[in-house]
Homo-oligomer: A and B are copies of this chain.
Amino acid sequence: MRRQASIDEIVAEAWELSRSNGLGNFSMRELGDRVGMRAQSLYSYFASKLEIFDAMFLQGNEQLLETMRIALDAMEDEGDPVATSVTIVDTFVRFCTSDPIRYQLLFQRTVPGFVPSEHSYAVAQEAYDLSVGPLRALGIDDPQLDLCTAVVAGLVAQQISNDPGGDRWVRLTQQATSMLLREFLPDVLSHTHSTRSTT
């Protein structure tokens, strides 16, 4: 269907413009120019500018879902829940920091007026559940899980704000995860990941 191809191109250019101008800082005219269309013609595909954000939000969450599925499938063989958790956290941090604008749309409230549609929100929920699954499987639940999500969010936030494109915080991910697992499951760990700082 040619229609779908046009929609995909519009969304792709909306990402591109958001990456160069800041999330959402593009006009319908600008977007139309990019896809070789008048601004008004965009309304054949999206009823409003906010609907474009929803398409971006959905796509970003589908990418997250896919990324986490692949990482989980790869770890399934081993059957080591600790290693799986470490990998999944690392995968998540890399996913987030690799595209700050996507991270901003998916996890921060920064586009005024944007509310995800029901379908988009369901996909986001699914991706979240899949991401925290391995930690839950280890018995880490709500109060402790909050500290885990905070640490992960912090690594991402610092990486994006203070070393965009680098790995100054990303490379601390394993140490951070080890620290959390030691905090919550002191018995489980004696063998793996001695990333602890030597005194």
B146–A169 touching, CB < 8 Å: yes
Chain B residues near A108 (CB-CB < 8 A) = 161
A residues 144-161 in Cβ contact with B at 8 Å? 144, 146-147, 149-155, 157-158, 161
**Known contacts A154-B155, A179-B179, A199-B186; is-contact A147 B161 (Cβ 8 Å):** no
B179–A158 touching, CB < 8 Å: no
Tell me what chain A mostly uses at the interface: helix, strand, loop, or mixed: helix
**B109, B150, B183, B184: the one within 8 Å of A158 (CB):** B150
**B109, B147, B153, B197: the one within 8 Å of A176 (CB):** B147
Please state the number of chain copies in the assembly: 2
A168 at the B interface (CB under 8 A)? yes
**B25, B147, B176: the one within 8 Å of A150 (CB):** B176
The smallest beta-carbon distance between A136 and chain B, in angstroms, is 15
A183–B161 touching, CB < 8 Å: no
A108 to B176, CA, bound (A): 22
A107 to B108, CA, bound (A): 14
Chain B: CB-nearest residue to A154: B154
A22 at the B interface (CB under 8 A)? yes
Chain B: CB-nearest residue to A144: B197
In order of increasing CB-CB distance, the 5 nearest A-B pairs are A154-B154, A150-B154, A153-B154, A150-B158, A22-B112
Interface residues of A (CB under 8 A from B): 21-22, 25, 107-110, 112, 143-144, 146-147, 149-155, 157-158, 161, 168-169, 172, 175-176, 179-180, 183-184, 186-187, 196-197, 199
